Amino acid sequence: MKMVQSSSSTDVGSVKSEIFPLLGLTDSLPGAFSGEWFGRGTLLEKRSPIDGTFLARIAQATEQDYERAIAGAHRAFLHWRTTPAPKRGEVVRRLSERLRDLKVPLGRLVSLEAGKILAEGEGEVQEMIDVCDFALGLSRQLYGLTIASERENHRMLEQWHPLGLVGIISAFNFPVAVWSWNSALAVVCGNATLWKPSEKTPISAIACIRIAEQVCRECSVDPGLWSLAVSDSSIGRRLAEDRRVPLVSATGSTQMGRTVSETVARRLGRTLLELGGNNAIIVTSSANLRLATRALLFGAVGTAGQRCTSTRRVIVHESVKEPLVESLRAAYGQVSIGNPLHPETLMGPLIDAEAVNKMGATLAELKVLGGRILSGGEHLSGPEYPGGLYVTPCLAEANNEWPVVQRETFAPILYILPYRELEEAIALHNAVPQGLSSAIFSTDLSETEQFLSAVGSDCGIANVNVGTSGAEIGGAFGGEKETGGGRESGSDAWKNYMRRQTVTINYGSELPLAQGIRFE
């Protein structure tokens, strides 16, 4: 199949009419899949945050549908686990090729449903492609270890086996990429998956599973390998409670992650958690302010501030605070806000009215506490902003100890916090409950090394002269503290989806015991 070229249309209805047939979508969709499509629950109506245009109605999964999906995924796993890993990699390679073919329409669907600008929508699909390529390489190197034995004529080794069924709970802000982080690696490791996507972005999930289904059928593989259940949080709770699901990977708020973690822990299952962030950039007196401004702009404004890695705080040395603020004001003034299907748009809408209201409530609380808004923070209205979900990105002076700064608000609000000494800046940086992504802008080697040391950033990601947002897939992604401690995507994150087995082999004629114990 030839790669689909982008159209110039920016009308939501026209774009929908163009891409839905390419992705196997219609106005009425079943929301559950496990080798076949079904769904008998209440209808979920999805409208685009761009202008409120109707996109589709989805029949959500009921409890009975969930049981059917679990059964189908388990059936697929029983055969898949015996398939050699390189052959599993071949299926993921075919998925990667199919995603390349459909990058444009799938990226535009992400824009329609999540309100992301076109560059971010297609970038998210590219991230899926990259993860599939990474998983393909892993399929030939799911390596164990050889361990020296203290006993004569013995050898020890470590090997890895599939876990079984992996439950995936994803958030709206990355409606397709987070699924691929988990599913590509889990499937290459020999597992089957059941995906519960956000009810705010179900159509993108259905499109992904339709693509995966076609790949499975072409490869004569049970398509239940990649199963789906669209529903409200009830299916997420069911996944967390289900002993047939040894690993639940959950991406979302800290509150959601805490509930999932406690539920899974009660049955001694495993969790992989990617939760909230309250990410900061330290800008030192030696920083390149041009680079810092660009990183802050993308980090705070990209995806309308709705990334877990979005920059929420800038901790700036008092000697460069004023020039940095002026630079940010100028940059914010050039941000084009509006229809994300327009190529020149840099910021689209928030996901829904609840997000708009939370941003407004946060800024009202900030003012009561004594904070000062330096730029933006308005709710936009008028015919050029249909749907009512558009806001201007906000710069504000605040205190790091205030509740509004301590919690994550999923909106484009950037708090400015001055400092005098680097130790003070690091203390401010670490004095929040979350620990996902962090960055320092400095040309002083001693400052950057201190930031990266054991007494520096306490986050899972620490960058130097690179912003907090936009991680590559080759490194393990995740954070500490209330971010959950999980690691997905690159490095050795594949081990999350497997069980470790230590093996001892006696090839002699005696039975010596470890530690020199004699039992005769």
Active site residues: 274, 308
67 contacts 31 by C-beta, under 8 angstroms: no
Q: Please classify residue 118 by burial: count the beta carbons closer than 10 Å to its beta carbon, then call 0-12 exposed, 13-18 middle and 19+ buried.
A: buried
Query: CB under 8 Å to 128, separation ≥6 — which residues?
Result: 99, 176, 177, 179, 180, 184, 208
Helix axes 63-80 and 233-241, enclosed angle (nearest 10): 50
d(CA 118, CA 112): 9
Burial 175-194 (b: 16+ CB within 10 A, else e): bbbbbbbbbbbbbbbbbbbb
- SS3 call for 263: helix
Letter for the amino acid at 114? A
In sequence order, the 6+-apart residues with CB closer than 8 A to the CB of 247 are 163, 165, 166, 167, 269, 270, 271, 272, 496, 497
Q: DSSP per residue over 283-313, as a string? A: E-TT--HHHHHHHHHHHHHGGGG-STT-EEE
In terms of C-beta density within 10 A (0-12 exposed, 13-18 middle, 19 or more buried), how is residue 292 classed?
buried
Answer whether 239's CB lies under 8 Å from 228's CB: no
Q: Which parts of 336-472 fold into alpha helices (H)?
A: 353-369, 403-406, 422-430, 445-452
Based on the number of CB atoms within 10 Å of its own CB, is 290 exposed (0-12), middle (13-18) or buried (19 or more)? exposed
CB atoms within 10 A of CB 294: 14
CA 56 distance to own-chain centroid:
24
- β-pair type (32-33, 226-229): antiparallel
d(CA 239, CA 271): 11
What is the token pair recorded at 356?
């708009």
CB atoms within 10 A of CB 257: 23
d(CA 214, CA 188): 18
Whole-angstrom CA distances from 31 to 22, 102, 199, 256, 300 are 18, 21, 10, 22, 33
